[in-house]
Amino acid sequence: MKESVGGLVRRRLKKYLLISIFCGYIVQAQDQLVSQTAHIPAGTRFATPQLKSTEKETWIVVFVHGIMSVQPHLNAANFLRFMADDVQKTTYSKTVELMRQDPIFYQYQAMQGFGLVPVNTADRTPGNASCALANVLNRITEQCYPTKQVDPHYYTFGWSGLLSVRQRYLDSKQLFLALEKEVAAFRERGINPKVKVIGYSHGGNVVLNLGAVAQNFPNSTLSIDEAIFWGMPVQRETDSCINSPIFKKIYHFYSAGDRVQKLDFFSFRRFLSEQKFKRRRHSLKLPAKLIQIQIKITRNARHTRKNQDQFEHTFDFTDPAVVSGNSHLLRDSSPGHAELWAFGWSQTHYRSTFALAPLPAISLIPFYMYILESVEKYTSPYAPIIIDVRPEHGLALVKNIKNRKFYSVFNFIQPDRFKELQELALVFKPERFDEQLINEHIKQAYTVAKKHYLDNWSKAPHRVRKRKLAKKMALQEVANGAKAKQLN
């Protein structure tokens, strides 16, 4: 029996009505779920606190650099050495040692000599990148906390810079002892400093290893008030150290534009490194003191800058495309690996179109910390947040990574003030610094290191015989000298 047209229409209307009601319940349930997981109330604007601090905060702020370039050493023999973590007494280790002692590599990042070295913030010599970063950080701190009394003391910690898990642990031990000594020196002067250690790239793993080192010093009172990891490859060998009590707060920053962070695969325990910390069911739980942040930087498209109506539309946060940054009016300028920590005159892997140029993204740390103080109670170590800085708009959007349409808005440094910071950085730009110059210094270090390896460490039979013969002749000369002395 055929169904009438009216019956068919009624049945389909009933079906669509039930589907609509069901979808309505789903949407309502999702809205309730999102409100619980979004963490930060949508559309919230936070004002800069104006309460004046009555106490001065003294901070020891330490920058820990990453590894030196391994590009000239990527061959089959060294590949196996990297995998086995056996890099000592090699051409690679000697090359890196010579590069670490070469001041040319101090000119584009916060790096000085070996060990804990104070940064002279008054030395504005061109090429003093450590001083440049310290001065920019001071300026941004003053703008973010206009009424807060902060007395920062900046240092760099120079380590071997080798691509070696074992060596990073040994270098971390030296960092631990140096921090203990420095904190003790402050306390002798009646000052109880807070400690902030900022490690970028594998320098972050040197900092993270402090958790493992601290286990060997149970009577130590050293604690790290803020451990900041900046583009650090997260690795199974050290990730459990985040639960160490030596760390009071941990902030892990990473960028979606960083293609290098995950590429360290030189281990038999894992395939690639991770961008963020992840829970492992039976072996790793993420502590509440951990906050994970994806940093994003958005700029206007060229045609947007020329069209006032389009520029004004980029402030319309009722447009989901504007909020997400996927609008045709905007461009994603999120930092690559080098742009996270290197000044723009490094040129290598630093774009001329980078929205912060010539500043590295790490210079915005005071602003990021100011935001995190306001939203910390909404965060979870398992749910990273996105901080989307838009310098041309003088704003920053904070979004939950799982649902990007939920956001909060912060006032960023205004464009004219930000331009002053860029000009301040350019005061430190060296007269000549380009990729050709860097390659020349790397080649020179490699040539010297190769000769040193052949003369001292090579296990080739003829090299071993040559060293034995040289040693024998040296001993013979000493013996002959002694005999001649006796005869006289």
Q: Is 282 helix (H, G, I), strand (E, B) or coil?
A: coil
Is residue 466 domain-resident? yes
Helix (H, G, I), strand (E, B) or coil at 223: coil
pLDDT at 151: 93
332 pLDDT higher than 80: yes
Does residue 459 share a domain with residue 407? no
3-state secondary structure of 211: helix
The token duo for 429 is 């730009």
User: Which helix (H) or strand (E) covers residue 200, if one does?
Assistant: strand 194-200
pLDDT of residue 464: 66
463 plus 400 within the same structural domain: no
- The verdict on residue 127 lying in a domain is yes
Position 488 in a domain: no
Length of the chain in residues, anyone?
488
d(CA 478, CA 471): 11
Residue 45 has pLDDT above 60, yes or no: no
Q: Is the pLDDT of residue 155 over 80?
A: yes
* Number of helical (H) and strand (E) elements in the chain, helices listed first: 14, 12
Tell me whether residue 115 is in a domain: yes
241-286 per-position pLDDT tens digit? 999 999 999 999 999 999 888 887 666 566 788 999 999 888 899 9
Please state the rounded mean pLDDT for residues 360-374.
Answer: 94
Do 427 and 469 fall within a single domain?
A: no
pTM of the model: 0.84
Same domain for 461 and 414?
A: no
Please enumerate in sequence order all residues whose Cβ is within 8 A of that of 405, keeping only pairs 6 or more positions apart, or say none.
Answer: 42, 320, 323, 324, 399
Same domain, 310 and 459: no
Identify whether residues 304 and 168 lie together within a single domain.
yes
Asked if residues 255 and 340 have their Cβ atoms less than 8 Å apart, the reply is yes
Give per-residue pLDDT as tens, 52-86.
Answer: 455 789 999 999 999 987 777 777 777 778 888 88
CA 191, 289, 369, 125 dihedral sign is positive
Report the candidate in 167, 88, 69, 99 with the shortest Cα–Cα distance to residue 457.
88
Cα distances (Å, whole numbers) of residue 285 to 221, 243, 261, 282, 385: 25, 8, 22, 8, 19
* Separation of alpha carbons 465 and 129, rounded Å: 46
User: What number is the average pLDDT over the span 185-189?
Assistant: 96
457: containing domain = 441-482
Residue 28 in any domain: the answer is no
DSSP secondary-structure letter at 323? H
Tokens of 233: 């490859």
Q: Are residues 415 and 446 in the same domain?
A: no
177 and 155 assigned to the same domain:
yes
Given pLDDT bands bounded at 50, 70 and 90, which one contains residue 231? Answer: very high
In this prediction, residue 34 has a pLDDT band, given cuts at 50, 70 and 90, of: very low
CA pair distance 253, 294, nearest whole angstrom: 6
Token pair of 235, please?
A: 């690795």
**Total domain count for the chain?**
2
Residue 116 in domain: yes
Claim to verify: residue 339 and residue 458 sit in the same structural domain: no
Do the Cβ atoms of 303 and 268 come closer than 8 Å?
no
Q: How far apart are CA 338 and CA 255, in angstroms?
A: 11
Shared domain check, 429 and 473: no
* Structural domain contains residue 84: no
What six digits make up the tokens of 397? Answer: 């959007």
Q: Is the Cβ–Cβ distance between 263 and 272 less than 8 Å?
A: yes
Asked whether the predicted pLDDT for residue 11 surpasses 90, the reply is: no
Alpha carbons 108 and 248: distance in angstroms, whole number: 30
Instruction: Kindly state whether residues 285 and 322 are assigned to the same domain.
Output: yes
Rounded distance, CA 309 to CA 325, Å?
Answer: 17
Any idea of the CA torsion for 204, 207, 208, 214, to the nearest 10 degrees? Answer: 170
pLDDT value of position 352: 87
Residue 365 to residues 124, 368, 457, Cα–Cα distance (Å): 21, 5, 43
4 has a pLDDT exceeding 90: no
Q: Does 351 share its domain with 425?
A: yes
In the prediction, which pLDDT does 33 show?
28
Distance CA 128, CA 121 (A): 9
Q: Cis peptide before 41, with omega less than 30 degrees from 0? A: no
Q: 3-state SS string over 242-280?
A: HHCCCECCEEEEEECCCCCCCCCCCCCCCCCCECCCCCE
Q: What is the mean pLDDT of the chain?
A: 85
Token pair of 224 as six digits? 């790290």
Asked if pLDDT for residue 354 goes beyond 60, the answer is: yes
Q: In this structure, is residue 70 part of a structural domain?
A: no
